[in-house]
Amino acid sequence: MHSRLFRFAIAGFASLAMATAASADTILQFTQQVTSLTPISESGSTFTTTGPGSSGGSVPVLIGFLGAPPTVQAFETFTTPLTSASAVSITNGTVDQSGYTGTIKFSSLAGGGGTNFLTATFNNGRLSGPAGGNSAGLQASQPPDTVTFTSDNAGLQAAIAASVGRNFALSFSGLTTALPTSGTTLPPFFASNTGTFSTTTIPEPTSVVLAGISTLAGLGCFGWRRFKATQA
Residue 137: other Cβ atoms inside 10 A: 15
55 domain residue, yes or no: yes
Q: Is 31 helix (H, G, I), strand (E, B) or coil?
A: strand
135 domain residue, yes or no: yes
Q: What is the mean pLDDT of the chain?
A: 84
- Please say if the pLDDT value at position 67 is more than 90: no
74 domain residue, yes or no: yes
218 domain residue, yes or no: no
- What is the rounded CA–CA span in Å between residue 92 and residue 128? 12
User: Residue type at 139?
Assistant: Q
8 domain residue, yes or no: no
- What percent of the chain clears pLDDT 70, i.e. is strictly above it? 78
- What is the rounded CA–CA span in Å between residue 26 and residue 95? 27
Between the CA of residue 13 and those of 9, 21, 148, 223, what are the distances in Å? Answer: 6, 12, 34, 16
Count of structural domains, the chain: 1
Q: Maximum distance among all alpha carbons in the chain? A: 85
Q: Is 11 helix (H, G, I), strand (E, B) or coil?
A: helix
Is 0.95 surpassed by the pTM of this model? no
49 domain residue, yes or no: yes
Q: What is the pLDDT of residues 168-190, one digit of tens each?
A: 999 999 999 999 999 999 999 99
Q: What is the pLDDT of residues 19-61, one digit of tens each?
A: 445 677 999 999 999 888 899 999 999 999 999 999 999 999 9
pLDDT (average), residues 96-115: 98
Q: What is the pLDDT of residue 155?
A: 87
Residue 36's domain comprises 23-202
87 domain residue, yes or no: yes
11 domain residue, yes or no: no
